[in-house]
Amino acid sequence: VVPGMLIAVPDGIAVAREAASRLAKLILDALDAQGQASVALSGGGTPGPAYALLREDARIDWSKVDVFFVDERAVPPDSPRSNFRMVQEALLDHVSIPPDRIHRMRGEAADRGAAAREYASQIRARVRHAETGIPEFDVAVYGVGDDGHTASLFPGEPSVDVTDRLVIDVPSAAKREARLSITVPLIEHTRAALIVAVGKGKQEALERIWSTSGDVHHTPGRVLRGVRGSITWVIDKAAGGLG
């Protein structure tokens, strides 16, 4: 049973189109309701084409949108591996967004623990809080890794258990650099989550996430089931096991 709404389209191009139009609608809804919007974006390869289409949408007043990041790699902002760089090139460089509304995670910081704490304070200062006291992003885009990770919460790591911090420093592991990542409380407090996945490699991870039972340590993407707001999955047929 898929928690939320599932939209399966033929291919990656259709995912980008669908994700861009849904993202625009969610941002516009938040702007209509509150006069401003907080948006948290994921990196990785999948959402870039959607961000590039989103920049064409002239209805969005970016001067009222705060852009945050879901996670960042421990690289400088000009690195080809930087999530910030990807979002900047696909979207931010092309819209009129005030620099103080762009909230970059300092992945390159020597003291990533301090960078994580600073980022949590920025979120606390700029994003409205739910009745629980936790900030709630109006809109967030999440991805899913082949191994079942989401944000930078990886299988077999204790990061998925962190509830006392909004942002953490994720140590490096065998095949990847260290990261900064938002944690489960922030993910769960998302008001509108848009989750994108493309390709056959994602099929098994999605099945594990959608299964009614499973271990969040084995499949951290299962934390997305706990999103309190709306959840929309935009995937291609291959990721859905349909093509």
Site for ligand 6PG in 23-42 (CB under 6 A): 42
Smallest separation (angstroms) from ligand 6PG to the CB of 180: 10
46 binds ligand 6PG (CB under 6 A): yes
Smallest separation (angstroms) from ligand 6PG to the CB of 213: 23
Q: Which of 70, 90, 192, 209 binds ligand 6PG (CB under 6 A)?
A: 70
Q: Which of 12, 43, 49, 220 binds ligand 6PG (CB under 6 A)?
A: 43
Nearer to ligand 6PG, 66 or 236 (CB): 236
Nearer to ligand 6PG, 144 or 192 (CB): 144
Residue 158, number of CB atoms within 10 A of its CB: 10
d(CA 79, CA 139) in angstroms, rounded, equals 26
Site for ligand 6PG in 116-145 (CB under 6 A): 143-145
Q: Which of 180, 179, 188 lies closest to 223, judged by CA?
A: 188
d(CA 7, CA 20) in angstroms, rounded, equals 13
Instruction: With contacts defined by CB under 6 A, name the span among 31-39, 44-52, 157-165, 207-215 that binds ligand 6PG.
Output: 44-52
185 binds ligand 6PG (CB under 6 A): no
Q: How many alpha carbons fall within 13 Å on the CB side of residue 22? A: 25
Helix (H, G, I), strand (E, B) or coil at 85: helix
Q: If 0-12 CB within 10 Å is exposed, 13-18 middle and 19+ buried, where does residue 122 land?
A: middle
Instruction: With contacts defined by CB under 6 A, name the span among 25-33, 57-65, 147-155, 186-194 that binds ligand 6PG.
Output: 147-155
151 binds ligand 6PG (CB under 6 A): yes
Smallest separation (angstroms) from ligand 6PG to the CB of 41: 8
For 95-120, give one letter per residue: b (16+ CB within 10 A) or e.
bebeeebbbbbbbbbeebeebbbebb
Shortest-Cβ-distance residue relative to ligand 6PG: 143
Q: Which of 44, 77, 214, 226 binds ligand 6PG (CB under 6 A)?
A: 44
The answer to whether 102 and 40 are in contact (CB under 8 A) is no
Nearer to ligand 6PG, 31 or 73 (CB): 73
d(CA 182, CA 191) in angstroms, rounded, equals 15
d(CA 1, CA 177) in angstroms, rounded, equals 34
Site residues, ligand 6PG (CB under 6 A): 42-46, 70-71, 73, 83, 143-145, 150-152
